Amino acid sequence: MKVVHAYNQHRGGGGSDNSARSTIEVQRHYGMEVEVFTRSSEELPRNLRGRLQAAASVIYAPESVRSFGALLDSFKPDVVHVHEVFPLVSPWILPLCTERRVPVVMTCVDYRMTCPIVTHLYDGEICTQCTGGREYWAVLKNCRQNVPESITVALYNVLVRKRKLFSDHVSRFIAPSEFTRSWLIEYARIEPDRITTVSPVVAIPESETDPGVGAYVAYAGRFTPEKGIQTLLEAARLCNCPFRFARAENSLGNIKISPEFEVVVTRSREDLSAFFRGARMLVVPSIWFEAFGLTGAEAMGHGLPLVASRLGSLTLLVQDGIDGLLFEPRNARDLAHKIQHLWDRPELCRQLGRAARKKAVSYWTAEHHFACLKNVYEDLCASR
């Protein structure tokens, strides 16, 4: 089977980029012929010119469309699989697939279809005002804290919706979790039989760690508001245990970590694995609807228990009291209580960690991911 993957690489990387690359690597490993069509936001200057280029690409990106069309004609794929295409991989590549009768699979890595800024957050609170064709709220509320950017992202959603670029040209949508699938059915009006849940590839080491001897409470991810890091910083000051905060070398973030806490910069997957192996637990304090919670799942694969927000897909990732603990989002005292409870009970950490590892090995392997997507592809090819 021949597959073209198309995705936009974000500045600073992130879970969606990692997920797309992992899918590509797995499919090549299992013998699929794969070509990749990608653009990087690093191509955009970090100034007004860059913003104008992004805005122009939202309306139409002729170079991307021409290049993608040439790839379709030369490679002749059986399936096109798109991931995040904003802003430089134009959604106008999708009608080209319809013209050539090539089915399109689209992984919904976030909530861009229902929220112009993808997080459904405004002023730290969950917001759904833009759903139902009301994208103008993103401009009225200036959700990007920059009027031209707020106009750009709102315009993108209006264009995609009005021209039916996703609804008419995507054969099957992929949701990373059952929560995300249900959300998109309700708010993006995707027909249930057109959206399938396939969890992303989770890097699972051959052996598990012993969280009972872990030397610190861990956080790994972007230092940004939607990740709930402010809540964690407040909770950390209420706890009697050490904390370490890890971020990827190229990760963007606008929240500074106080010098009282150690910051670890990871430059490779091996660095992140080493960070997990030294921890007693991982905290996932997100205040937005994580589409899956990839970093948390990777920590579980190492045998670490999670302390996670009782919010969105994290309530499916973690079974409270079985493979981790859940706390009330934005509640620093509740979070501190759960962290301290686990820290003071090493054997409980081991018990929850073993269950977390078992879940990861059962549901999130590369084999399982490949088999699920292969079934989707074959079903679409048979229907065609």
Could you report the per-residue pLDDT of 60-83, keeping only the tens digit for each?
Answer: 778 889 999 999 999 999 999 999
103 occurs within a structural domain: yes
Beta bridge partners of 40: 9
- Predicted pLDDT at 52: 60
Same domain, 259 and 375: no
Considering the domain architecture, whether residues 308 and 375 belong to the same structural domain is answered as no
Q: Answer yes or no: do 106 and 219 share one domain.
A: no
- Same domain, yes or no: 331 and 285: yes
Where residue 320 sits, what CATH number does that domain have?
3.40.50.2000
Token representation of residue 71: 């790839």
HSE of 160 in the Cβ direction (CA atoms, 13 Å)? 26
- Co-location of 246 and 122 in the same domain: no
Domain count, the chain: 2
Would you say residue 253 lies in a domain? yes
H or E stretch at 81: strand 79-82
- Same-domain pairing of 96 and 240: no
- Across the range 290-306, mean pLDDT stands at 97
The verdict on residue 150 lying in a domain is yes
Q: What are phi and psi of 12, to 5 degrees?
A: 85, 0
The Cα–Cα gap between 128 and 139 comes to 14
> Do residues 230 and 348 share a domain?
yes
Rounded mean pLDDT, 153-182: 96
State the pLDDT confidence band at 53, using cuts at 50, 70 and 90.
low
Q: Are residues 50 and 195 in the same domain?
A: yes
Give the pLDDT confidence score for residue 384 in this predicted structure: 74
Does residue 240 sit within a domain? yes
Residues 309 and 336 in one domain: yes
Same domain (yes/no): 170, 221: no
**Contacting residues for 285 by C-beta, under 8 A, at least 6 apart:** 219, 227, 228, 229, 231, 232, 235, 308, 309, 327, 329, 335
CA dist 367 to 3, 29, 31, Å? 18, 10, 12
127 lies in some domain: yes
- Residue 165 has what DSSP assignment? T
- Label residue 17 by pLDDT band (50, 70, 90): confident
Residue 314 belongs to a domain: yes
Ordered alpha helix ranges (H), the chain: 15-29, 48-59, 62-75, 93-99, 136-140, 147-162, 178-187, 229-236, 269-277, 294-301, 314-317, 332-343, 346-363, 366-383
pTM above 0.85? yes
Which candidate, 322, 318, 233, 216, places its Cα nearest to that of 274?
216
Q: Are residues 226 and 263 in the same domain?
A: yes
Same domain, 190 and 221: no
Does residue 206 lie within any of the structural domains? Answer: no
Quote the domain boundaries for residue 103: 2-201+365-383
Q: Across the chain, which distance is largest between two alpha carbons, in Å?
A: 62
| Euclidean distance between CA atoms 268 and 297, whole angstroms | 17
